[in-house]
Amino acid sequence: MTNLDEIIKSRRDTRHFTNDAVPDAVIEKALEAGHWAPSVGLTEATKYYLIKSAEIKKAVKELFLEYDKKAAACTDDELQKVQYQNLKLEAIEEAPLGLVICYDRSVLNHFTIGTVGSNEAIKFSAVCAAQNIWLSLTEQGYSMGWVSILNYYQFKKILGLPEHIEPLGYFCVGKPATNYENQPMLQQLNWKQKSEAPFVSEIRQLHSIATKELEEDVVRTNKVDFSLKALEDKINKKTKPIGSLGVLEKIAKQIGTVFQTLEPKISNPNIVVFAADHGIAQHGVSAYPQDVTRQMLTNFLEGGAAINVFCKQNKIALSVVDAGVNYDFPSNTTLISAKIDKGTHSFLSGPAMSKAQVELCFSKGSEIVAAIAKQGSNCIGFGEMGIGNTATASVLMSVLCNFSIEDCVGRGTGVDDEKLQFKIDILKKAIENYHGSKDLESYLTYFGGFEILQMAGGMLEAYRQNMIFLVDGFICSVAFLIAFKKNPAIMNNAIFSHQSAEKPHKKLLDYLGVSAVLQLDLRLGEGTGCALVFPIIESAVAFLNEMASFESAGVSEK
């Protein structure tokens, strides 16, 4: 077969193979074709691993079968489930050769042409290589089948791939046993018909990212049936000395004022954990490697983290957001995908993100909270996860509050004295290297984190939705600081759940002029402080609604 059009149209995602071995010359020629595929910035980040071991093939097949069951459960109805189960989706053990096509993320540790706009570019190069390999095999009378229904984390483990090597999937290679009647297999089996022509449309109009206009700093007008004096009188006339319930009275007054009612109720409470990776982490500012972000998100999804335990204990819904983790998570999870990019760039010598990404962060955070409010929630807590994000938060606090970086740096994940000084030195150098404007947007673009800015956008939306929102520890308080600088009126709706063990948190709370409800020496993040303070929120509402007054109980006020 020599005609290019014929080769392209004959390329099949093959699932049926003969027992014929793949000659070394065939695979060498195919991989050579992959090597000469387009590669962004000539990164040569694509790597190939050959699999001939029956033991490894069996282990990969078991991984497939585990996720194949999950895929079957995601079908729309019983008929579709039966149709799905009748499909042959792999030939892992039957194919004479296995090929794992990967891309090497470590090339991103150095400047690489073509990757500044998107780290995904190196993956795109690997996909181009896969297509070239497919076409070369087809031209030689062989073929390949792509198996992607796998737990990629376990897949990497059984292959012994290092953290920075990411597989596109497992590819079965061999001589095809059928040509599927010269059409894609799924089309032949009537699963889906391939369209006759590709979608093509010319874009003629310039578009920009739409952002919600920020509300003015205005005091909300009271509704006709509500007055602040009536709320204060109700609190003061409970069967207790005035002020004797301390912070509970303050919280009850705040919630009643926000909801504009003398009988407030908390509905469908939800804690949202935003997660992302940070380029600054590659400089060793954390006690943990960056991959812990991905590992912890998996832990959240499997229900094993502290925030899962506390949310379950207090009957709080938990939402987990991928704001920019350096990993591709399976689509069949409960994870909310709001990925801006696979982590920010290091701000040691350049901006962490683009201005467009800053706007997108605020938009995404807003959309997530608006969707939760639409489900009937009027109380939301904000949490975070991201190796390196205390470093990002520290720098943002320093530049936005005009504090020295020494006053803004804590131990984060628990670094020792030597590492703490190293962290301070790195962050001080990053600030010294900044020569941009001193306005909020410029600082956020240069030093921001995807999850921090999405939380800020979410807090602004919580205010717009008239929700009570709970602020967790240090990093979430920095997100609040950003939102507060955009709209100071959000202070009316915020409850600061706890004062973190992170040294700069107290200084930040003092700067904002607020006090936290709890002081438990927490420094875990995840929104754990929000979950722990929630029973106190409920107690404030309960006493306001259910506690007897002096008059109803027949008790003398004095």
Query: Strands, E, within 161-301: which ranges?
Result: 165-174, 270-276
Binned at pLDDT 50, 70 and 90, residue 112 comes out as low
State how far the Cα of 518 lies from the Cα of 529, in Å rounded to an integer.
Answer: 8
Band (186; pLDDT cuts 50, 70, 90): low
Cα angle for residues 547, 552, 553 (degrees, 5° grid): 75
User: Which tokens in the block code for residue 6?
Assistant: 């014929």
CA distance 8 to 28: 20
26-40, 311-325, 478-492, range with the lowest pLDDT: 26-40
Residue 102 reports pLDDT greater than 70:
yes
Question: Closest by alpha carbon to 453, among 375, 387, 389, 530?
Answer: 389
Instruction: Mark whether 183 and 287 lie in a shared domain.
Output: no
Q: In this predicted structure, what is the pLDDT of residue 6?
A: 78
Q: Could you tell me if residue 91 is inside a domain? A: yes
Written as six digits, the tokens of 183 are 């059409």
What average pLDDT does the segment 261-268 reach?
94
Catalytic residue among 139, 249, 502, 526: 526
> Domain holding 79: CATH number?
3.40.109.10
Closest CA to 352 of 486, 421, 451, 208: 451
Is position 259 within any domain? no
* Mean pLDDT confidence for 428-451: 94
Which of 169, 189, 209 is the last residue before a domain boundary?
A: 189
State whether residue 529 is helix, strand or coil: helix
Interval 345-404: pLDDT, tens: 989 888 999 999 999 999 999 999 999 999 999 999 999 999 999 999 999 999 999 999
CATH number of the CATH domain containing 302: 3.40.50.10210
Query: pTM value?
Result: 0.66
Best CA proximity match to 344, nearest among 430, 251, 446: 446
Q: How confident is the model at residue 217 (pLDDT cuts 50, 70, 90)?
A: very low
Quote the CA–CA distance of 414 and 288 in Å, as a whole number.
9
Q: How far apart are CA 416 and CA 286, in angstroms?
A: 10
Q: Is 335 left (phi over 0), alpha (psi -120 to 50) or beta?
A: beta
Asked if the structure places residue 301 within a domain, the reply is yes
160 and 279, same domain (yes or no): no
Paired with 172 in beta bridges are: 98, 145
Indicate if 441 belongs to the active site. Answer: no
**Structural domain span for residue 345:** 267-544
- Both tokens assigned to 193: 């018909």
Positive or negative: CA dihedral 526, 528, 534, 537: negative
Range 334-363 burial, b when 16+ CB lie within 10 A, else e: ebbebbbbbbbbbbbeebbbeeebbbbbbb
Q: How high is the pLDDT of residue 207?
A: 62
Mean pLDDT of 101-127: 77
pLDDT, residue 218, reads: 40
pLDDT tens digit sequence for 487-504: 999 999 999 999 998 889
The per-residue pLDDT for 121 is: 79
- The answer to the question of residue 229 being in a domain is no
Which helix (H) or strand (E) segment holds residue 256: the answer is helix 247-259
Report the number of distinct structural domains present in the chain: 2
Of 189, 215, 234, the position where a domain reaches its end is: 189
Identify whether residues 176 and 289 lie together within a single domain. no
CA 397, chain centre distance (Å) = 22
Q: Where is the domain boundary, 173, 189, 205?
A: 189
Same domain, 271 and 183: no
CA–CA distance, 370 with 376 (Å, rounded to integer): 10
Residues 279 and 389 in one domain: yes
**170 within a domain of the structure (yes/no):** yes
**Dist CA 275 CA 272 (whole Å):** 10
Question: Quick check: is 51 in a domain?
Answer: yes
Within-domain flag for 357: yes
Looking at the structure, tell me whether residues 155 and 294 fall in a common domain: no
Count CA within 13 A, CB hemisphere, residue 168.
25
- Whether the predicted pLDDT of 216 surpasses 50: no
Report the chain's mean pLDDT, rounded to a whole number: 87
Specify the DSSP class assigned to residue 205. S
- Which pLDDT score is estimated for 194? 63
Query: Domain for residue 503, yes or no?
Result: yes
| Residue 398 and residue 519 in one domain | yes
